[in-house]
Amino acid sequence: MASTAFELKGKTVFVAGHRGMVGAALMRRLAGEQAELLTVPRSELDLRDQAAVNAWFAAKRPQAVFLAAAKVGGIVANNALRAEFLHDNLAISSNVIQAAHANGCEKLMFFGSSCIYPRLAPQPLREDSILTGPLEPTNEPYAIAKIAGIKMAEAYRSQYGADFISVMPTNLYGPGDNYHPEYSHVVAALIRRFHEAKISGGRKVVVWGTGTPRREFLYVDDLADACIHLMKTYSSPDLVNIGTGEDISIADFALMVAAAVGFRGEISFDTSRPDGTPRKLLDVRRLSGLGWRATTSLNDGIQLAYRAYRAASDGRHQTDSLVPG
């Protein structure tokens, strides 16, 4: 596996999607790297706008780019907003990768996702199982766009020698997660539902699906640490999975979240809701061979995520009370 030393110190580093869960974690982790961090809010630069992206890159010429901007969501959003998930993610990847190349970017990290792997690929999911079978239908548009992004990074490397790399994070959770009641990922959805039941004295919480699918969860600050490690040391067209290498059933995970939140009522399963892929665990041997492993336990991570959720919802309530009537 090819590796090179890449210095972040003293470089201009663009974090695309810096307000997102991953982007914000990258910003926290990059703060100690003595790099000049570049960010731009979506209100000033819509990354789907090719001309605007080209103009921004020509003006700023970042030396390193973390492409962590994307249209992201849980199973319901992915399935309902199929056109937007395909279009927006294709446009963002295409615009940013091309503009980075055209404007002298020395290194770029593209963020894929574990859902790029075929629905029934052997578990744990190895990096070389990409494009070996049909995808999970509920998030196929998102996965197709992500696969196109991976192939784009790979093509700029093979045609132009660009040092563009791709990482595949597993399911992430932590500060900055999306707690939308319909469109969130499973960790945020469970934290919110258990918390609201606890506060309102609800006796039962309904968990979507059968509870039997198995999932792997990585605390987002661990992800950021892995990304900085890879950005500095890794250079290859081969993807790198980022995960813990351990999975848990949704039912057992729900029990852990309920305990962390302090909900003592009943947990039931709504089997009319889709389960998604039966199992999703990444093979992380490539990553561990590159000298990195996750350090935040699932229990500690859930506690930290719940603390961040409460801090954010306290902030929201205070802001709500300041809104003039």
Annotated binding-site residues for substrate read 193, 208, 215, 275
Point out the catalytic residue in the list 117, 142, 183, 234.
142
Which region, judged by CB under 6 A, interacts with ligand NAP, from 62-70, 227-235, 249-257, 278-286?
62-70
Judged by CB under 6 A, the residue of 30, 69, 150, 305 near ligand NAP is 69
Pairing assessment for the beta strands 248-249 and 214-215 based on DSSP bridges: antiparallel
- State the Cα torsion 161-69-279-215 to the nearest 10°: 120
Q: Least distance to ligand NAP from the beta carbon of 167, Å? A: 8
Site for ligand NAP in 180-209 (CB under 6 A): 185
Point out which residues pair with 65 in neighbouring strands: 14, 108
Contacts of 44 (CB under 8 A, 6+ apart): none
Q: Least distance to ligand NAP from the beta carbon of 113, Å? A: 4
What CA–CA distance (Å, rounded) separates 91 from 71? Answer: 10
Q: Least distance to ligand NAP from the beta carbon of 324, Å? A: 25
113 makes contact with ligand NAP (CB under 6 A): yes
Of 111 and 194, nearer to ligand NAP (C-beta) is 111
301 makes contact with ligand NAP (CB under 6 A): no
Which region, judged by CB under 6 A, interacts with ligand NAP, from 14-22, 261-269, 276-284, 317-325?
14-22
Site for ligand NAP in 139-168 (CB under 6 A): none
What CA–CA distance (Å, rounded) separates 163 from 101? Answer: 9
Q: DSSP letters along 18-82, please?
A: TTSHHHHHHHHHHTTTT-EEE---TTT--TT-HHHHHHHHHHH--SEEEE-------HHHHHHTH
Residues of each annotated binding site: 17-23, 146, 169-172, 185, 193, 208, 215, 275
Q: Which residue has the tokens 């927006």?
A: 88
What CA–CA distance (Å, rounded) separates 1 from 137? Answer: 32
Q: Which CA distances in Å does 7 have to 27, 103, 107, 223?
A: 16, 19, 10, 19
Q: What long-range pairs does 97-100 form, CB within 8 A, spacing at least 24?
A: 97/67, 97/149, 97/152, 97/153, 97/156, 97/164, 98/54, 99/53, 99/54, 99/56, 99/57, 99/58, 100/57, 100/62, 100/65, 100/162, 100/164
What CA–CA distance (Å, rounded) separates 289 from 71? Answer: 31
Judged by CB under 6 A, the residue of 15, 30, 35, 70 near ligand NAP is 70
142 catalytically annotated: yes
175 makes contact with ligand NAP (CB under 6 A): no
20 makes contact with ligand NAP (CB under 6 A): yes
Q: Least distance to ligand NAP from the beta carbon of 5, Å? A: 25
111 makes contact with ligand NAP (CB under 6 A): yes
Site for ligand NAP in 238-297 (CB under 6 A): none
Which region, judged by CB under 6 A, interacts with ligand NAP, from 41-49, 231-239, 261-269, 287-295?
41-49
21 makes contact with ligand NAP (CB under 6 A): yes
Of 112 and 211, nearer to ligand NAP (C-beta) is 112
* Residue numbers at the binding site for ligand NAP (CB under 6 A): 17, 19-23, 42, 46-48, 68-72, 88, 92, 111, 113, 169, 171-172, 178, 185
Catalytic positions are 142
